Structure 1
Amino acid sequence: MLRLYHLLLGSILVVSIPLGAKFFLPEFSQPKAVKSPAVAKLPNPKEGNIWQKILGNTSAPTNWQVAACEGNAPLLCISSKGERLGTVEINVYLLANNEDFQKKLAASGIPTGSQVDYQNPKYQTQVLSALKAWVEDRYAAFAKDRQGEYGKEITFSTYPPQPVPIGKLQGIRYGFAGLKEKGGVQEQHIGHVAFDGTKLYVITTAFDKSTQTGKFDKLENLAIFQPYLYAIAADLRLP
């Protein structure tokens, strides 16, 4: 029943997107012109695809498969009947080399170098505040980029950051879409971000022809997979 419900939900979403995209495109990868923070990434590529280590229980629509992609790229592959439908990408950033997020933690009440238990509920409010500030910076960068690229032909629409569990961590789900003035969706992005005290985890996918990795070629497939992605993120082996 759960799978049937989600399939129906995804189908309704796809049909309704041209008319109601501003209201239910709540969920959204890394675009071409906005670069990730210039900080060290983990893990070492020689260690293999990180999804093999962190992937917990997976769920998918009937006849769809979810598994870590072959090779070292940090990609989760979603396929059906031997055809790849899309991928989800994860990037991991060391806090020690991420001055920007250090400042966001400090602004939220956790000074750099503090020896605190970030999993302690006492600090969850501060961590979520820092993560929301990180998301808002992403939104601002995307909006500036899209304004220069699209002008008035496409409306940039964001979704309010939403606290969600990501493995054992408390994280943020965020997203945005590019909505065509004449109807339809130019792009849709879904993101999750979480922090374990030493590393920042950023999980992304999209419907966006300009995105190279972490993407779906068809908007309807992304819409159908959306609720399953949420369940997968909640069951990751993090930290």
Structure 2
Amino acid sequence: MLRLYHLLIGSIVLVSIPLVGKFILPQFYPPTVVKSSAVAKLPNPNEGNIWQKILGNAAAPTNWQVAACKGNAPLLCVSSKGELLGTVEINIYPLAKNEDFQKKLLAAGIPTGSQVDYKSYKYQTHVLSALKAWVADDYAAFLKARQSEYGKQILFSAYPPQPVPVGKLQGIRYGFTGLNQQGGVQEQRIRYVAFGGSKVYVMTTGFAPGTQTGKFEKLENLAIFQPYLDAIAADLRLP
């Protein structure tokens, strides 16, 4: 009789457990928070890279990709099948902080602070004259630095400056190459420079083993990409 009574009590307890959990336990445990289906917008990893704003036609060889590099550095990444082949760097120099180029404009017949349309044909000759003076100084500084580094082991020579469009601006493409004593290429540089009234734009890439950015790892890849770089420069959306 006692055993039957115990069984009856046990059955009542088992039936009561779900009811206790339903009506009593919520008083001691906080309710489950249901997460919203809305996902917070992640910041664009390329947002600080100026190429995000100025890149127009991303011309590239077949199976190559051209896009702004991740991060804030002003670098354009050139890759193929997930492998980074090289980068193109752009630097922007405000005219207000560049007294040297102000003097070059003045020497070319454009007074500092003058309100002129630098895109007009009337002033293109003046701007090109100032840009050519920039190129000459750039090459002289480059040659001095390399002579200090290599001495007479590397022979450097400049490419003739060529007028080219940089966005809607008139610019110049120029560069230089360095050959070692065995006849191989030690270094090669390609640059574009343009002036837009308040800023000087300089775009650089090349083959330079000692340089961290704005270069290609292999000379042959630079040679393949060089013609496409003209198209990229011509379609830049410069402010």
Q: TM-score category by the smaller chain?
A: 0.7 to 0.9
Corresponding position of 1:216: 216
Q: Which amino acid aligns with 1:232?
A: I
What RMSD in Å do the two structures reach over aligned CA positions?
1.2
Q: Residue in 2 aligned with 1:169? A: 169
Q: Deviations over 1:189-227 (max 9, x none)?
A: 000000100010000011111111111111111111000
Partner residue, 1:109: 109
**1:138-153 to 2 correspondence within 5 Å?**
138-153=138-153
Unaligned runs of 5+ in 2: 1-45
Give the ranges of 4+ consecutive aligned residues of structure 1 lying more than 4 Å apart after TM superposition.
Answer: none
TM-score by length of 2: 0.79
Which structure is higher in RCO with an 8 Å CA cutoff and minimum separation 6? 1
Tell me the distance in 2 between the aligned counterparts of 1:211 and 1:74. 15
Look at both structures and tell me which one has the larger radius of gyration over its CA atoms: 2
Match of residue 56 from structure 1: 56
1:129 aligned counterpart, secondary structure: helix
What is the 5 A alignment of 1:36-115? 48-115=48-115
1:8-47 paired onto structure 2 within 5 Å = none
How far apart, in 2, do the equivalents of 1:63 and 1:47 lie? 25
**2:104 match: secondary structure:** helix
- 2:188 partner letter: Q
Pairwise CA distance, 1:47: 6.1
Q: In 1, Cα distance between the equivalents of 2:207 and 2:93?
A: 24
Q: 2:179·2:185 contact (CA, 8 Å) conserved in 1?
A: yes
Is 1:230 paired with 2:230? yes
Paired position in structure 1 for 2:178: 178
Which AA in structure 2 matches 1:201? Y
Counterparts of 2:50 and 2:200 in 1: how far apart (Å)?
Answer: 14
Question: How far did 1:111 drift?
Answer: 1.1
Kindly state the Cα deviation for residue 61 of structure 1 after the two structures are TM-superposed.
Answer: 1.1
Please state how far the C-alpha of 1:238 moved relative to its aligned partner: 2.3
Please say if 1:188 is aligned against 2:188.
yes
Please list every run of 5 or more consecutive structure 1 residues that lacks an aligned counterpart in the other structure.
Answer: 1-45
**CA offsets 1:151-199 (integer angstroms, 9 cap, x no match):** 2221011011110001110000010011112211000000000010001
Matched residue SS, 1:217: coil
2: CA distance, partners of 1:72 / 1:143: 30
Deviations 1:60-103 (A, max 9, x none): 11111000011111000000111100000001010011100000
Q: What are the superposed Cα offsets for residues 131-155 of structure 1, whole Å, 9 maximum, x if unpaired?
A: 0000000010111111222222210
Counterpart secondary structure, 2:177 = strand
2:68 is aligned with what amino acid? A
Write the distance in 1 (CA, Å) between the matches of 2:214 and 2:180.
22
What aligned pairs does 1:112-127 form with structure 2 within 5 A after superposition?
112-127=112-127
One-letter amino acid of the counterpart of residue 177, structure 1? T
**SS of match in other structure, 1:227:** helix
**What percentage of aligned pairs have identical amino acids?**
79
1:131 maps to: 131
Q: Deviations over 1:14-72 (max 9, x none)?
A: xxxxxxxxxxxxxxxxxxxxxxxxxxxxxxxx961111111111221111100001111
Does the 8 Å contact 2:47/2:71 carry over to 1? Answer: no
- Against the structure 1 CA distance between its residues 47 and 120, is the aligned structure 2 distance closer, same or farther, given a 3 Å change threshold? same
What is the rounded CA distance, in whole Å, between the counterparts of 1:231 and 1:120 in structure 2? 21
| TM-score of the two chains, using structure 1 as the length reference | 0.79
